[in-house]
Amino acid sequence: MSYFYPKPLRYQSLYGISQLTLTEHYKIYLGYVERTNEIRSLLLSADRAKANATYSPYRELKLEETYSLNGIKLHELYFENLTPMGEGEPEQELLLYLGRSFGSWEKWREDFTALGMSARGWAIMALDLDEKIRNFLQDAHNLGEITRSLPLLVLDVYEHAYFLDYMTDRKGYIEAFFRNIHWGVVNRRFRQALAACNACYPFSTP
């Protein structure tokens, strides 16, 4: 069986996000790694013969596996798409996709900010492999994602991500998030998603 190993955090602080917040946030991520490994270990011996949709240990383990595993993946995406003071800018084709999907870069940013203000867990910009770029929110790690969508930019809006620094000023945290985006990482994810996308319109060839 394969176990997960935590990825190190590449920075100690970010613009507007303190070392204390990041240290505590990273501990939460480590918890998801530990729980996922524990769940996978328990699944080895879970009784498949007693599986049912009302209650069974197998069902509960499979359910929490999605919560815990997505807790790992979403945090890794979030930490990776940030760097102190940000880096780079969105590549041209990504801007074209955002324009096609939202009307303009400004409208995408306005929508993503509203998304961050509305979500109870995660705000995600993703390439929907069946059409275009979508912004969608998840109220829990395993609640709200769109099937066949690949995340490009992930924002954690659980209170643990900002409350020590911003208290109830979530908007201030989202503004700091924008300042820290590593666009090189987002561009790379976009390229990888495009390669997997059959239905996406090839904007680069008029």
- Are the beta carbons of 99 and 200 closer than 8 angstroms? no
Cβ atoms < 10 Å from Cβ of 56: 16
Kindly state the greatest CA–CA separation across the chain.
57
126 backbone dihedrals φ, ψ, rounded to 5°: -140, 155
Q: Nearer to Fe ion by C-beta: 11 or 201?
A: 11
63 backbone dihedrals φ, ψ, rounded to 5°: -65, -50
Say how far apart CA 200 and CA 196 lie, in whole Å: 9
Q: What does the DSSP 8-state code read for residue 160?
A: G
- Taking residues 114 to 153 in sequence order and writing x for each that binds Fe ion by CB under 5 A, - otherwise, the string is ----------------------------------------
The residue number whose beta carbon is nearest to Fe ion equals: 156
Q: Nearer to Fe ion by C-beta: 158 or 203?
A: 158
Stretch that binds Fe ion, among 7-15, 97-105, 156-164, 172-180 (CB under 5 A): 156-164
- How many amino acids of this chain bind Fe ion (CB under 5 A)? 2
Q: Nearer to Fe ion by C-beta: 135 or 138?
A: 138
What are the residues facing 135 on neighbouring strands?
Answer: 125
Cβ atoms < 10 Å from Cβ of 177: 27
Stretch that binds Fe ion, among 90-98, 157-165, 178-186, 191-199 (CB under 5 A): 157-165
Alpha helices in the chain (DSSP H): 19-45, 57-80, 92-102, 105-118, 163-166, 170-179, 183-195
> Can residue 82 be called a binding residue for Fe ion (CB under 5 A)?
no
Q: Given candidates 156, 162, 185, 194, which one binds Fe ion under the rule CB under 5 A?
A: 156
Stretch that binds Fe ion, among 35-43, 51-59, 158-166, 182-190 (CB under 5 A): 158-166
Least Cα distance to 38 among 72, 81, 9, 12 occurs for 72
Stretch that binds Fe ion, among 99-107, 125-133, 155-163, 173-181 (CB under 5 A): 155-163
Q: Nearer to Fe ion by C-beta: 128 or 156?
A: 156
Footprint of Fe ion on residues 59-78 (CB under 5 A)? none
CB of 54 to Fe ion, least distance (A): 31
CB of 172 to Fe ion, least distance (A): 17
Binding residues (CB under 5 A) for Fe ion: these are 156, 158
